[in-house]
Structure 1
Amino acid sequence: MTETEKKAPISVIRVRNLYKIYRVGETKVRALNGVDFEIYKGEFVAIVGTSGSGKSTLLNMLAGLEKPTKGEIIIGKVHMERLTEKQLVAFRREKVGFIFQSYNLLNTMNAVENVALPLSFRGVAKRVRLKKAREFLALMGVADQEKHMPNQMSGGQQQRVGIARALVVDPQIIFADEPTGNLDSKTTMEVLRLMQRIVREQKQTLVMVTHDNNLASYADRRIRIVDGKITGIETGGRSALDETEEKTV
């Protein structure tokens, strides 16, 4: 982040007075109950809460997968709550990258084809999209897995391919939903280092949903949510990159 950005951070996401109310029979369930916050360019933010806290609902609404009952979600200068379904699909395709807990790789495609897939939806020529996919596999340290099918890769390798797929479209924002939930502790740290590198080197904005306080401690900020309400926002995160460097000294 430049000195100018440090002095005047650029707002990427603004959430104002956000509500999501579901009806279960005669009962109203407030999944989100008046939520306000901002996320800035080049930030790694964790939305932290237990199961049922409203964190996944919040992520879905930020990504345009669910409409709010009330309130505003402004990404850049776009009011997400005002977009049609067709506009939301275009927004996700053009502006957003997703990293999933279950990797969500297509079993019928090898690694490079999986990474190139989002570019095919944009009409990018095959030669160009495969070249770009190989570049991002190399960035993630899995260039040697290019021809491997998902079932021939470890969980950590699959997640690296998943991150490469999220990055290949040069997204404005990356949303990560419990991205290390299926990984062991060593591989989790490797993926955390990659995600911190993305923010530092690629200047991406990364929003991660997690129930894991240890995982969240590596984010620049943590937005804590309980029963649909924000209970606190903490600043300052640990560096998985620095910890690695210390161990190798």
Structure 2
Amino acid sequence: MIIREIKDSFIMIRQHDHAFLSGELIKHFKPSLLKSDAFFDDALYAAYQHDRSWIGLDETPIWNDRESIPFTFSDYPLLPKLAFYKIGVDEIERVNTYASLLCSLHFCSFFSQSQNKDCLVFLTGEARRQMNLRESFPDLDEELLQQHFHLLQFSDNLSLYLCLNEPGVAKEDEHPWFKNGFQNTEMFHPENQPLMARWLNEKEVTLEPYPFEKEFHVSLQYKIVVKSLIEEVGVAEAYEKSDMKERMIFIYK
């Protein structure tokens, strides 16, 4: 679950809805910024499906007593998160081999510096998976694969940018992950700099330079869960009782 706290409520966004937004964003990506259009549909599928491991977990949000906030994707207990990451990549692999390779690389990047024994077990298993998946592509273009991997990361981060920031926020007040642009997007910038996003107002976002073919809009689903209701019935029931809302966001040059 993606959580943004406001005065008397929590904005709560399911991970799979955030991933759907990721796909909706990069389906408009300029083909000229990639080495070729080979496997683009597979990379797009990876963006849409990369967080399907959270579908079950987000059905019942759980409360973080230490922080007095629902657990988020970043602080969710590690062991179930790792187990469900594996399940999610397993499910993607049954449908799309190339997409599962990208998603495995994506999840491994979260733990690349970790020395935690459970993370190391996860990384070892995914390294084995990646080796087996690569055998399906004897002529695999490694440069294109890296472009698609970074495109998946960008789709994830741009969607998070839209989810974690207050709509219309000033650049200096943005979530700290994004103030200096999106990591690993230099290959999509003519001057080898990170792509940078900025809110124009509460409904419009722009990027510099603009990496999309045209201007478009996306739709974000979320719930506003009132803190007093959580205190009354608990976070799981409060989330269930809250109405799903939808917000349109326009991506402009």
TM-score, normalised to structure 2's length? Answer: 0.30
Richer in helix (by share): 2
Calculate the TM-score normalised by the size of structure 1. Answer: 0.30
